[in-house]
């Protein structure tokens, strides 16, 4: 059964946040297992509440580009996905949103510093 056919309660039962099914910015979803290993590690750390590698991890993401579904300020938080060989934070990020930071309703991956986002499907 596809996620779009499930109700919010059913989505939560299978570990897929209801907001993920409702909000899909341009770009097809990417399975968690399809992300770079560094992104998979950051996602695990988000769910565990850290620790994080960079001081800016967990800061509020303002969505100034309006590439993600509109939400009140403070809904989205961003996390750096390390880029092997990069001396800086690089361009890769995971942005998650929800009422409780450690229980995100939805997460997105960008590898081009917010120019595009792919919803993360945690089931795959």
Q: Give the tens place of pLDDT for each residue, 7-23.
A: 233 333 334 444 444 44
99 catalytic residue (yes or no): no
Asked whether the predicted pLDDT for residue 28 surpasses 60, the reply is yes
Higher pLDDT, 43 or 21: 43
Distance CA 21, CA 32 (A): 15
Distance CA 97, CA 83 (A): 23
Q: How far is CA 94 from CA 10, 32, 79, in A?
A: 25, 11, 5
Given the residues 43, 65, 77, 78, the one annotated as active site: 78
Distance CA 88, CA 71 (A): 29
113 catalytic residue (yes or no): yes
Q: For the domain 3-121, what is the CATH code?
A: 3.10.450.30
User: Which of 72, 47, 70 has the alpha carbon at shortest distance from 58?
Assistant: 47
Q: Terminus-to-terminus CA distance in the chain, angstroms? A: 14
Distance CA 1, CA 105 (A): 20
Q: What is the pTM for the complete model shown?
A: 0.78
Structural domain boundaries of the chain?
Answer: 3-121
């Amino acid at each position: 059964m596809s996620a779009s056919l499930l109700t919010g309660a059913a989505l939560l039962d299978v570990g897929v946040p209801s907001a993920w099914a409702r909000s899909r910015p341009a770009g097809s979803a990417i399975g968690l297992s399809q992300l770079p290993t560094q992104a998979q590690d950051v996602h695990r750390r988000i769910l565990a509440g850290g620790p994080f590698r960079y001081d800016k991890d967990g800061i509020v993401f303002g969505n100034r580009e309006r590439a993600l579904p509109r939400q009140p300020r403070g809904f989205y938080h961003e996390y750096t996905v390390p880029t092997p060989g990069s001396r800086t934070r690089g361009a890769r990020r995971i942005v998650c949103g929800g009422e409780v930071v450690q229980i995100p309703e939805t997460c997105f991956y960008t590898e081009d510093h917010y120019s595009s986002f792919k919803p993360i499907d945690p089931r795959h």
